[in-house]
A and B are shown apart, each in its own frame.
Chain A
Amino acid sequence: MSHPDDMNDSLSQLLLDQAERLFAEHAPRQVLEAADAGTPPEALWTALEEAGFPLALVPEEQGGAGLEVADGMRLVRLAAYHAAPVPLAETMLAAWLWSRAGGDPPDGEITLAPARPGQRAGIAGGILEGTADGVPWGARARHCLVFAQDASGNPCLALVGAQQRSARPGGRNIAFEPRDRLQFDRVQLAATALRPAPLLDSDGFLPLGAILRSQQMVGAMQRCLDHALGYAGERVQFGRPIAKFQAIQHMLAVAAGHLAAATAVADMAIDAMTAGETANGDLALAAAIAKARTGEAAGEVAAICHQVHGAMGFTQEHPLHYATRRLWSWRDEFGSEPFWQERIGRRVCAAGGEALWPMLAGA
């Protein structure tokens, strides 16, 4: 029986163990609190760079670690499990895309713009023009990878430095992660800073961004459930741990079902990413399915885990909110559930009912 993970199990386990230690040391409670209050976690980012994680997906000959996409996405899940308040996922994806476009990825945080449906940037004669809202760490990131189309609609990537863009900082999602407005005002690009975009179509970063957020939601849901299982085992009411009550058991069983289903579609999206350029249509579909299903699961899991925690989970003191506020933010970023559901629905309806099964079975 074929098992795609067998080959890399030991390597990826080493890496994940290393990452686990790194997050435990550099993303403790105080760092999350400070980030919420506006102090960026410099030491955490430095440690991540020293470990080579931001460039993990970049081939070794381009200065990266040459990690498999699947292992990189496990790292993204783990960072989200720890609520690491840094643009690691965005940087990993941006660096991967830029290296696939033939560029050498720079050091420092790299963000992605535009990040919202309906927003576009244009390119003509090497000059970039456009506006993007809600850009993750848009003001702070050292570079921004911009998706733009030229006059003929060809997808391009532009690597824009901090000095070349004007930012209106101060925007945040409800997890207090920076989401800034960026303006690209007739930015003159060097020849090496503009390249044809691999993997992307007119949707730009939306599908891959949706896949990233799906992985992150899986990590954060796992954390929520761990919190809830732990709390249910400790909290005693009516003389026994609330974990012993059937009502609580059934709520957590439902949450575990959502997490398992979300993990399945997030895994599917990783497979589609791994399959790469040959399967562009499948990548868009896999991204849509992943974001639609994980986003729905995120709402359900967050609600259940809060209910299990009672008033304690509603406090600033209890760490549950670091996971749940991220779930409520991420499910709406890079396209909400209805956005992706409608995409899936239109595609399925256009193909007709009998075409659904070959699509689901992938054969």
Chain B
Amino acid sequence: MQGFRFDPLRLPPEAAATRQRIRAYLSSEREAGRFAANRSWDSFDPDFSRRLGPAGFIGMTWPKRYGGQERSALERFVVTEELLASGAPCGAHWVADRQSGPQILKHGSERARQEILPRIAAGECYFGIGMSEPDSGSDLAAVRTRAVPADEGWRINGSKIWTSNAHRAHYLIALVRTEPPGEDRHAGLTQFVIDLSAPGLTIRPIRNMAGHHEFNEVFFEDHLVADDMRIGPPGKGWQMVLGELAFERAGPERFMSDYRLLVEAIDRAGPSPDARQAVEIGRLVSHAAGLRRMVTSIAGLIEQGEVPGVEAALMKDVGTTFEREVPEVVRRIAPAEPSLDDPADRYVDALARVTLQAPSYTLRGGTREILRGMIARGLGLR
């Protein structure tokens, strides 16, 4: 069998030091009453991000001249998992720090780097993801939004959908068609950095089933973008987007989105659980332990400069399966009627939030079915 690379990894001493720093920072935030517990990366709290950036925890791996700290990917990894474990409201800067910033750093123009990266690192600049379109979800190469050369740049027409935070983010990175589709449907696509405050854009809210406004539809009507806001060479957007997706899928948020519900369920079961509670909690913990080791190993590949596409897909599939299970398991061993109307009851509140969010876990960032196709290709079946 073609093995997947989940090599053991021991985190280096500097990662341990960073862990102590972020833990100290987060407890000071909590003690100051600056964040309610049990949030995750689907939150949006710019105030939290504006404090976290200056504290040195955003854009950590980037060069200092772009506002970064020149830390290792493993130190950044430790910060992300500590944010999730603590239930910090870390969502506002999440996409920018995880994928948009790295994409601009690696493939963007010098102007884009200088203008945008320091603001991301300061925790004041946020990104959305411009991939899906109304007729192009899992089949990403079918995007129809089109950019044509215009004076000093490109003119874009079309639309993007399911764009989280488009109404409160500053930019998105959009994948658009710059050449007509040919025999190779992956050719002729290009990524651009889109300034959401520029003319030629209309943002329409799409409320989710909980009634919350998180994602949007974004319409482009003769929207002009400068050529130096292009990511990578024209026509090479597919290669760009694959690299971006590997980062999007590779992190601890792919098994820790509802970590705080597990914490609350443990406390609800109490120090002397019955056998069934102990068995089910023990089972979930055994899963979390394996996933944590897998995601650490992927962080090691990223630190070595690799793009772990298949490993990330596998980890996300296994990790989001776990995330989907958590609410289903805990409601059976610690029965409660979920409600959003009693935040003081942290278990009931977390159960309600997660129940309403859980269907998205196995959709966002690539559906389970797409991921399994990628894993099958890695196994040599396709």
Interface set of A (CB-CB < 8 Å, partner B): 1-5, 222, 225-226, 229, 232-233, 243-244, 246, 248-250, 252-254, 256-258, 260-265, 267-268, 271, 288-289, 292-293, 296, 337-338, 340-346, 348-350, 352-354, 356-357, 360-361, 363
Contact = CB atoms under 8 A, between A and B. Distances in A.
Contacts of A257: 314, 317-318, 321, 375
Contacts of A341: 278-280, 282-283, 286
Contact of A1 (B9, B288, B375, B380): B9
Interface stretch (B150-158, B219-227, B289-297): B289-297
A57 B320 CA distance: 39
B314 A353 contact: no
B269 A349 contact: yes
A243 B74 CA distance: 37
A345 B279 CA distance: 6
B300 interface: yes
Interface stretch (B192-200, B204-212, B259-267): B259-267
Given A349-B278, A361-B85, A256 B375 contact: yes
A3 B6 CA distance: 12
Nearest to B259: A357
Nearest to A360: B292
Interface of B: 1, 4, 6-10, 12, 16, 19, 74, 81, 85-86, 259, 262-267, 269-273, 275, 277-283, 285-294, 297, 300, 303-304, 314-315, 317-318, 321, 369, 371-373, 375-376, 378-382
B278 A226 contact: no
Contact of A344 (B81, B285, B315, B379): B285
Contacts of B304: 1
A360 B289 contact: yes
B279 A5 contact: no
Contacts of B10: 2-4
Contacts of A288: 282, 286
A271 B290 contact: no
Contacts of B259: 357
Contact of A253 (B86, B278, B376): B376
A293 B288 CA distance: 10
B292 A256 contact: no
A252 B286 contact: no
The 8 closest A-B pairs by CB, nearest first: A345-B278, A345-B282, A344-B282, A341-B282, A249-B376, A353-B263, A253-B375, A253-B372
Best-surrounded residue of A3, A4, A249, A256 (most CB of chain B within 10 A): A256
Contacts of B285: 289, 344-345, 348, 356, 360
B289 A254 contact: no
A352 B270 CA distance: 7
Best-surrounded residue of B4, B266, B286 (most CB of chain A within 10 A): B286
B293 A349 contact: no
A296 B74 CA distance: 30
A321 to B, nearest CB: 19
A226 B271 CA distance: 43
A348 B285 CA distance: 8
Contacts of B9: 1-3
A357 B280 contact: no
A78 B281 CA distance: 32
A134 B10 CA distance: 38
Nearest to B316: A257
B292 A232 contact: no
Contacts of A225: 1
22 contacts: A1-B303, A3-B8, A3-B10, A243-B381, A249-B372, A249-B381, A250-B369, A252-B381, A253-B314, A253-B373, A256-B378, A257-B318, A258-B318, A264-B297, A265-B290, A265-B293, A268-B293, A292-B286, A340-B282, A344-B278, A345-B277, A349-B272
